[in-house]
């Protein structure tokens, strides 16, 4: 029997290890929904109350107290349970109403992504779980006290006291929830939450060696051009539908490529929007005859299913997900209707902080290799230059006439250049300084633009001095 369980356990471990990225992707989807955590808390609460009820049913240590104190109060308990359930349903409705009103007002300023971020917030889900589990507890009390035979034979004193205390505590939790909603709708809090997710994603997806991969372990090799021996075009993989590339299951793709000694080169990185039947990746082989077999064509066709395409981007394997979110907040803050450059500077701070972490890790694109260390997959992720541009380009363009914000961006770029560990990274910083210089050249000459030009010169000199 032990050997059987050991085999089952090893099989489970191997399954989890080989599908860790797929499991993580599903986990992100589930935990990003508002129903999962509240439902889990409700089940846990009801399980505890059922356990207490069973304890009172099976043990007699409270029988004397019940008989002397509460034997004649069953009818009162019924009334209390009904009133408690009504109160908890009112509280739950109030919580939903507060949330809808607050999010409606805040989303007009920070965009619809605010609602998604609020729903995915762990604290929000826990609060909703507490309120709805309290309602479920009150409903359970009504059921228990109206079960005449059971209630008279085994009066559920401990269960009633526990449920009543739990429901009463929701009044205090409600105050904390209102504070949480108010803070969540603040721009600064929103930026902090998104930037924290970005830092977590960088630490999760980018190793200390600087490579990005969807696999566990060191399964990459420094990328250059496609290996020359893969010179024959053996076909392509097309998008099954229109949407965003959400997730790539690398393990089965690697096995297929290893089987035919092939190389897969993606045209679009994870997170990019693609159209139905658009070519996502090209397949190259060393021996052309292999690609002409029906087995090869069938196996390559099944690889389409290993590339998940959905209606919205996901952060499972996409470093640009949270970067785009931060840029969107800054763009809205700089719109004429809002005109809030302070929020934009806050976003710039967080973007530069994330880029500094990528610089420290020396993030770079690499080929994903098979078990024999042969390059098999390339082009599946965004380059460091792409991420730098994604972080600053839109903000810089939106602040075309805002010299104060451009001055601030230059200041942060100088700080970033200090942390650059190689010329490749310094070139990217100088490239951003050059873009600001081009922006100034398009504007009319005034005192502010002259100051900005001087700052550009200083920034260029500083970037060169740290080489």
Do residues 247 and 395 lie in contact, with contact meaning Cβ atoms separated by under 8 Å?
Answer: no
Q: Superfamily for 209-383? A: Pyrimidine nucleoside phosphorylase-like, C-terminal domain (3.90.1170.30)
Each of the 467 residues of the chain gets a pLDDT tens digit; together they read: 566 666 666 666 666 666 666 777 777 777 767 778 888 888 898 888 888 887 777 665 555 555 554 554 566 777 888 888 888 889 888 888 888 887 777 777 666 776 777 777 888 889 999 999 999 999 988 888 777 665 556 667 778 888 888 998 998 899 899 888 888 888 888 899 899 999 999 988 887 666 665 555 556 655 566 677 787 888 889 999 999 999 888 888 988 888 888 899 999 999 999 999 999 999 998 877 777 788 888 888 888 888 999 998 888 888 899 999 999 889 888 888 888 889 999 999 999 999 999 999 888 877 888 878 888 888 888 889 999 999 999 998 888 778 888 889 999 999 999 999 888 899 999 999 888 888 777 665 555 556 666 666 667 666 666 66
The pLDDT score that the predictor gives to residue 454 is 67
Residue ranges covered by each domain of the chain: 32-185, 209-383, 399-467
The pLDDT score that the predictor gives to residue 252 is 87
The pLDDT score that the predictor gives to residue 223 is 59
Burial (Cβ within 10 Å: 0-12, 13-18, ≥19) of residue 66 = middle
Q: How far apart are CA 286 and CA 173, in angstroms?
A: 65
Burial (Cβ within 10 Å: 0-12, 13-18, ≥19) of residue 464 = exposed
Collapsing DSSP to helix, strand or coil, 207 comes out as coil
Collapsing DSSP to helix, strand or coil, 418 comes out as helix
Token digits of residue 100: 């809808």
DSSP state of 208: T
The pLDDT score that the predictor gives to residue 65 is 52
**132 phi and psi angles, rounded to 5 deg:** -75, -30
Name the CA radius of gyration of the chain, rounded: 29
The pLDDT score that the predictor gives to residue 59 is 61
Separation in Å, CA 465 to CA 379, 407, 458: 33, 20, 10
The pLDDT score that the predictor gives to residue 211 is 62
Do residues 343 and 333 lie in contact, with contact meaning Cβ atoms separated by under 8 Å?
Answer: yes
DSSP secondary structure letters along 94-154: HHHHHHHHHHHHHHHHH-THHHHHHHH-HHHHHHHHHHHHHHHHHHHHHHHHT-HHHHHHS
Burial (Cβ within 10 Å: 0-12, 13-18, ≥19) of residue 295 = exposed
């Amino acid at each position: 029997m032990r050997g059987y369980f050991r085999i089952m356990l090893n099989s489970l471990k191997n399954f989890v290890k080989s599908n860790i990225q797929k499991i993580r992707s599903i986990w992100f989807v589930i935990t990003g929904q508002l129903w999962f955590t509240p439902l889990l808390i409700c089940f846990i609460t009801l399980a505890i109350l059922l356990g207490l009820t069973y304890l009172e049913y099976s043990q007699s240590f409270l029988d004397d107290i019940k008989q002397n104190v509460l034997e004649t109060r069953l009818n009162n308990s019924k009334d209390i349970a009904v009133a408690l359930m009504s109160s908890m349903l009112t509280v739950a409705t109030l919580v939903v109403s507060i949330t809808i009103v607050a999010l409606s007002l805040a989303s007009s300023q920070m965009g619809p992504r605010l609602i998604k971020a609020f729903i995915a917030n762990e604290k929000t889900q826990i609060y909703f779980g507490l309120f709805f589990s309290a309602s479920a507890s009150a409903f359970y009390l009504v059921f228990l006290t109206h079960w005449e035979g059971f209630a008279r034979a085994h009066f559920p004193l401990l269960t009633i006291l526990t449920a009543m205390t739990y429901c009463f505590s929701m009044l205090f939790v409600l105050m904390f929830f209102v504070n949480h909603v108010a803070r969540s709708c603040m721009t600064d809090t929103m930026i902090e939450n998104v930037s924290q997710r970005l830092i977590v994603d960088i630490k999760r997806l980018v190793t200390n060696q600087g490579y990005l991969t969807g696999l566990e372990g060191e399964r990459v090799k420094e990328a250059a051009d496609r290996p020359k021996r893969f010179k024959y075009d053996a076909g392509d993989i097309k998008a099954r539908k229109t949407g965003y590339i959400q997730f790539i299951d690398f393990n089965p793709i690697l096995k297929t490529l290893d089987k035919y000694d092939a190389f897969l080169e993606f045209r679009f990185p994870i997170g990019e929007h693609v159209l139905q039947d658009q070519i996502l990746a090209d397949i190259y082989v060393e021996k052309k005859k292999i690609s002409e077999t029906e087995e090869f064509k069938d196996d390559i066709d099944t690889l389409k299913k290993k590339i998940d395409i959905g209606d919205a981007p996901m952060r499972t394997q996409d470093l640009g997900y949270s970067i785009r979110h931060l840029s969107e907040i800054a763009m809205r803050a700089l719109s004429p209707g809002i005109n809030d450059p302070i929020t934009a500077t806050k976003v710039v701070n967080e973007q530069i902080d994330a880029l500094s972490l990528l610089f420290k890790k020396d993030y770079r694109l690499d080929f994903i290799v098979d078990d024999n260390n042969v390059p098999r997959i390339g082009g599946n992720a965004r380059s460091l230059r792409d991420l730098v541009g994604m972080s600053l380009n839109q903000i810089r363009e939106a602040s075309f006439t805002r010299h104060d914000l451009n001055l601030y961006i230059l200041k942060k770029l100088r700080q970033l250049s200090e942390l650059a560990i190689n010329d490749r990274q310094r070139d990217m910083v100088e490239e951003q300084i050059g873009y600001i210089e081009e922006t100034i050249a398009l504007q009319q000459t005034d005192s502010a633009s002259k100051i900005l030009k001087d700052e550009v010169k200083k920034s260029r000199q500083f970037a060169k001095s740290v080489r």
